[in-house]
Structure 1
């Protein structure tokens, strides 16, 4: 068979860089993507410095990770790097360093050191002005440069990497980058970035089994973790966790769900803590699913199409965890800030989420409750009896959830009160007395 003719058509680097700058990052999510790389490199400390200097303002992101060899650094600056990702690594497409950085700046410089024995650093720069002039994806040696010299000095004590953003055209106003508004904008972005990192990496900051705690700072201030599930609040309620097995095409993996009802305002340890736990979106919009990929928070707020946001369920929050083996199933985007719940999983979660919202509704209305979940079936009973009991309890949860969603909760409470008097056996069967 004759071989078909083929032609290599390389993309225009100048045109491609213009489109890839608009993938969807904002400043905090772009910084977070760089921190992903630091974590993948085994860093125990990451420092973010947002420095105002008018048109010469800059951002440094430094870590004490393993660093890179000169060859690895060049590969990291390739658009769509050829390196493979191990299971559990936070990287995904080989685009993050470039797309995240260039979404905010026109000049990206990376300085790195990977040897403990030798104080030898390597620096490479990717400048969009040069890319557009040459129409080539050109990586250059930055040569003598005071900011690069600062980065090299920081790496004098050991391995690590420094990412430097300059020419912040997507951050500073073009006409007056030296003005007070520009200064205030950078200060506000630094604050917003600290809040974002506190939430997205809270598990790493708190400490995960098998790896040291991560220390994160922004402009010299230590970032404290923002855990959406208020683990230190005594009045918090955790319901039974669930595990689901997904089999979609050739992809298979496990997803876990943990469910929490946070205390109402008067049961929080302090008003300030209640306000802090409201989160950047405030209580109503912070309710819902918190979706974690390899322990990194990628999406939060809302119920993923399972149900709507409701004032009465604002105390309900749930952690949904999946591993990198299910990336394709969840359609995670390049910026690692959006996922799509597969329909199969959405159906699996429906009962568990509705049950959680029933309890959150009760907590909101301050209804006393002695148990934290429906009465489980007797494990010593025959399998058929346990299945029937589970089905009845599930039916009770579904009825309560439907009453809540229909806006008829008060009517349902009156019905339940009558049932408790007239048919207590039905109440017990449906789990309505818990």
Structure 2
């Protein structure tokens, strides 16, 4: 306690909970934050049910994890939960369950069972109408609520947790929530959520070593992983991985970087797979860094200010991995969908990222060159022409990579600019045009 007079100034529950609804979630990211809790609880199955019922529409997110005791459940509904997070936990601020849920609805119920031998469930409800009426941090017992009773039945076979969203005021239109538009909106959100979960949790869905098998379904449809690096494509190119050590104050840790050049369209196994790998943002905006926190994808696409988006480097993608003990250095936001690169790491990444883009540029140009550049008639047979062109391209790539490794990239860019101006044919052969 302070030495002088002090005053307890508790925030208004009604005003603060209202403000926390606008922390940055949309429907898919809110669902993903609840799935984070399921993974942290050791769940192997997560089932999301988005049910249209007019103004009584609801969302269930059920898992078979270890569940919560009555005390842990109540603590889980506290804003700024006191629970301790260990290394590797997907949680961060003790806000996710509440802020994610209330960003979409006005009432969230949590039903949980923690004993595998005793069929006993606990249920509590956080309702904004009640909080606003009393202006207190109130959590209530749902009593004989039929929707809660349905969730209890699902937990009859074992441990787990069910999160129930109701009064979906941020999802359904205020007018005519029973109409066809509202139904179609929920159906569209189910599709977007399926796609989003397949992206952010793809490492967990791919049965990677060290993770339990995870199955996620949305309205009965199994979520398929979307791995941005197309690991099954034979023509995929991976550059040597790198590892960086960063430190700030008493915190230090390692960050891993893996760099990939995806195949050009004509080298993909089939057109359908090429189109699928374009991702939700399409090829140009999907290039860049894919940043993982404890194997969960938190940000994808773009170069985080290291360089700009370029059509010629659209095949370049890189995985950047950091652990939860570096959260403060990466400034991860509450919704776990945005990070900032530490300045020291940004400097370390410039050279390997530019080297990756050199290789991606070369792959792009080799793919497009036959259509873009006519073959001179006096260079001999087509096989010889291809050999000469390939040798020139390889030489250009080797010189660019050497300039990168020698720390002379800026000088090489000036040399390339002069070549493009004074000897465009040579620049073209070297892949610099």
Taking structure 1 as the reference length, the TM-score comes to: 0.88
Evaluate the alpha carbon distance shift between residue 269 and residue 18 of structure 1 in structure 2; reply closer, same or farther with a 3 A threshold. Answer: same
Distance in 1 between residues matched to 2:353 and 2:220, nearest whole Å = 40
Which residue of structure 1 lines up, in the alignment, with residue 374 of structure 2? Answer: none
Unaligned stretches of 5+ residues in structure 2: 368-389
Distance in 1 between residues matched to 2:134 and 2:12, nearest whole Å = 10
Evaluate the alpha carbon distance shift between residue 354 and residue 401 of structure 1 in structure 2; reply closer, same or farther with a 3 A threshold. Answer: farther
Evaluate the alpha carbon distance shift between residue 398 and residue 15 of structure 1 in structure 2; reply closer, same or farther with a 3 A threshold. Answer: same
Distance in 2 between residues matched to 1:70 and 1:392, nearest whole Å = 58
Deviation at 1:416?
Answer: 6.0
Distance in 1 between residues matched to 2:418 and 2:129, nearest whole Å = 58
Would you say how many aligned residue pairs link Structure 1 and Structure 2? 404
Deviation at 1:396?
Answer: 6.2
Preserved contact between residue 257 and residue 321 of structure 1 (Cα < 8 Å): yes
Evaluate the alpha carbon distance shift between residue 413 and residue 331 of structure 1 in structure 2; reply closer, same or farther with a 3 A threshold. Answer: farther
Distance in 2 between residues matched to 1:267 and 1:302, nearest whole Å = 24
Taking structure 2 as the reference length, the TM-score comes to: 0.88
Query: Which segments of structure 1 move beyond 3 Å, counting only runs of 4 or more?
Result: 367-371, 389-404, 406-418
Preserved contact between residue 355 and residue 398 of structure 1 (Cα < 8 Å): no
Evaluate the alpha carbon distance shift between residue 394 and residue 96 of structure 1 in structure 2; reply closer, same or farther with a 3 A threshold. Answer: same
Evaluate the alpha carbon distance shift between residue 360 and residue 13 of structure 1 in structure 2; reply closer, same or farther with a 3 A threshold. Answer: same
Deviation at 1:398?
Answer: 5.4
Deviation at 1:145?
Answer: 1.3
Deviation at 1:293?
Answer: 0.3
Mapping for residues 348-387 of structure 1, pairs under 5 Å? 348-366=348-366
Which residue of structure 2 lines up, in the alignment, with residue 382 of structure 1? Answer: none
Preserved contact between residue 194 and residue 223 of structure 2 (Cα < 8 Å): yes
Which residue of structure 2 lines up, in the alignment, with residue 247 of structure 1? Answer: 247
Distance in 2 between residues matched to 1:90 and 1:226, nearest whole Å = 20
Distance in 2 between residues matched to 1:5 and 1:391, nearest whole Å = 66
Deviation at 1:6?
Answer: 0.7
Q: Deviations over 1:55-99 (max 9, x none)?
A: 000000000000000000000000000010000100000000000
Bigger shift: 203-212 or 99-108?
Answer: 203-212
Unaligned stretches of 5+ residues in structure 1: 376-388, 421-431
Which residue of structure 1 lines up, in the alignment, with residue 164 of structure 2? Answer: 164
SS, match of residue 28 in structure 1: helix
Preserved contact between residue 125 and residue 141 of structure 1 (Cα < 8 Å): yes
Evaluate the alpha carbon distance shift between residue 122 and residue 175 of structure 1 in structure 2; reply closer, same or farther with a 3 A threshold. Answer: same
Which residue of structure 1 lines up, in the alignment, with residue 214 of structure 2? Answer: 214
Distance in 2 between residues matched to 1:294 and 1:403, nearest whole Å = 42
Evaluate the alpha carbon distance shift between residue 411 and residue 112 of structure 1 in structure 2; reply closer, same or farther with a 3 A threshold. Answer: farther
Preserved contact between residue 400 and residue 412 of structure 1 (Cα < 8 Å): no
Preserved contact between residue 66 and residue 159 of structure 1 (Cα < 8 Å): yes
SS, match of residue 247 in structure 1: strand
Deviation at 1:409?
Answer: 7.0
Which residue of structure 2 lines up, in the alignment, with residue 269 of structure 1? Answer: 269
Distance in 1 between residues matched to 2:204 and 2:232, nearest whole Å = 17
